[in-house]
Amino acid sequence: MKRTLGVCYYPEHWSRDLWEEDARRMAALGLTWVRIGEFAWSRLEAVEGTYTFEWLDEAIAVLKAAGLKVVLGTPTATPPRWMVDKYPDMLARDVEGRDRKFGSRRHYCFSHEGYKAECARIVTALAERYGGGAISSKEIDPNSFEEFGSVDAWQTDNEYGCHDTTLSYSDAAQEAFRGWLARRYNGIEALNAAWGNVFWSMDYASFDDIDLPNLTVTEPNPAHVMAFRRFSSDQVVAFNKLQADIIRQHSDAPIAHNYMGRVTEFDHFDVGDDLDIASWDSYPLGFLEDRVGADAARQTAYARQGDPDFQAFHHDLYRAVGKGRWWVMEQQPGPVNWAPYNPEPLPGMVRLWSWEAFAHGAEAVCYFRWRQAPFAQEQMHAGLLRPDSVEAQGFAEASDVAQELAEAPEVSVAKAPVALVFDYAAEWGWEIQPHGAGNSYFGLVFDTYAALRRLGLSIDIVPAEADAIAGYKLILAPGLLTPEPAFLSALGKSGAEVILGPRFGARTADMSTPVPLPPAVPGLDVTVAQVESLRPGLEIPLAKGGHVTRHRDVLAGFTPVMEETEDGQAVMVEQDGLAYLGGWLDDEAMGRVLGAACSRAGIATLQMPEGVRCRETETERFWFNYGSTAAQIGDQELPPAGVLRETL
């Protein structure tokens, strides 16, 4: 696979006389891909039923004439004002029942049938026009558009779930939810039994009696909330599939969607089943400020570099979502505008972020955006060019990457020795019942991932599916609330060292506590007799060092103990390569436990210097320095924001 670069471009934002020069400069920079169109509905259909495609025809022709490839986005993340006037009930409602109004983006509910029909109409028009081969048009010079009419890839919508837009409490969502429940449960009595509605007299006589799980006096039934979360995810999947199916009727070009960092309200694996490529939008500095979960000291230490593991985590996650094919569709090139604080990247970091993506198997890295907008909400978001078209900081680093790529070998992703399971339904379950302030499934899995990276390891993130865990030496499934029987069976047959827990198998699909009590794993004589959450300052010291923090499963049973508290209570037990870890460990304890597991599995580890990480492909080992000081790698010095490539 050849690694390529790209950029996000908005020709509708700029004077027509800039387009050729922009395209020439993009090509000279060494870019391959240009994404366009994903927010352009009002320019494509300013009046209902009247399409104005000519400007887009011309933009595609200009870009392709310069030797560039075009990714065309469907514009359904930004329905125009006339659409909202036509369907005022298409707006999503927040948990407080307030409309998410027109005036920004993503102002729609995934369940609104009228809006979905309008989306199908505009996507059909685009796919018919740009889906394949030369397109006849009397209004366009036959030497331009007819030659360059079809696009090279597609993007559906834009950033599903961004701005908390997966969950909608609208009338359309309520009607669709009731239908979804009727299909899922064989009668209302089956639902009442599955949800435990005998508790607090919550029984229903009809599916039409069931409201959405918001605005209740105290917390709603966790089974009700989980059903709503599953439904909401399914609505995103169906919305995306509608568009993908239409595009495939007219185009053979690959289809992608651009996911976000730590947006987990829908199942990305399910969405990815209908796409060819997973992509994501990587904003390391913004994400460190608003979603990584780092403390203030760590935010300050890495303010200009980003968290050393957050980008890599999502690279590995979306490689799995894309079944091996994935891009960065938007890469931060300078300061952003939307985080609590928006510093400038340390010189060299744009290059580092780009190469780190390629080391994890990215086919393309596309920078956001070509030219900084001088108007509207994102005018303080840097691009490769300033608003006056002068090169900005990221331009030079993108140029460096392009020149380095020209001499780089093609990349082949190597299977990692370690598999880390990630499950979206487990994330929803933990959100519904965190049991302790700040506890989250994502946080637990991410802490595990970061600890593995500090041991110098490459990791594959995999779904909780039986066929996804074969061939690994070490498999970890922290916090997986509802493992399927086939997955449990595959774990037992994997031949790998396996570490489960905490909270493994702790809930049924309807958020009840199963009996036998968890983890109920064949081959492990251990039972979670009780659970507790731990406030800051209540950490439990371990006999070998480090602490249990945040959450502890109180274990009972006779399996040999690997880790215990200072007063002799079991925290980790193990039998024949299958271990249960009954606590959320701090960095010291987690590093020791994972290092010992790697030793048992025959996996070599290396203690990384602070801020340094590595990743292996089939032919190369990459080293990245997120730190603010130089680090010694063998006989070579790796400067801050440095990248080192070694041939294996």
Catalytic residue numbers?
159, 330
d(CA 287, CA 310): 8
Task: Assess contact for 84 and 107: CB atoms under 8 A.
Answer: yes
Compute the radius of gyration of the chain from its Cα atoms: 25
d(CA 570, CA 639): 43
Helix axes 349-359, 310-321, angle to 10 degrees: 30
CB-side neighbour CA atoms (13 Å) of 640: 11
DSSP string, 165-208: -S---SHHHHHHHHHHHHHHSSSHHHHHHHHTTTGGG---SSGG
418 contact partners, CB below 8 Å, separation of at least 6 = 452, 457, 458, 459, 460, 472, 473, 474, 475, 476, 598, 603
CB-side neighbour CA atoms (13 Å) of 206: 2
CB-side neighbour CA atoms (13 Å) of 412: 5
d(CA 410, CA 1): 5
* Residues 163-181: b if buried by 16+ CB within 10 A, e if exposed: eebbbbbbebbbebbbebb
Q: How many CB atoms lie within 10 A of CB 550?
A: 26
* Cα end-to-end span (Å), the chain: 18
> What letter does residue 558 receive in the DSSP assignment?
-
d(CA 623, CA 638): 8
Which residue's entry shows tokens 């580092």? 352
Task: Assess contact for 279 and 257: CB atoms under 8 A.
Answer: yes
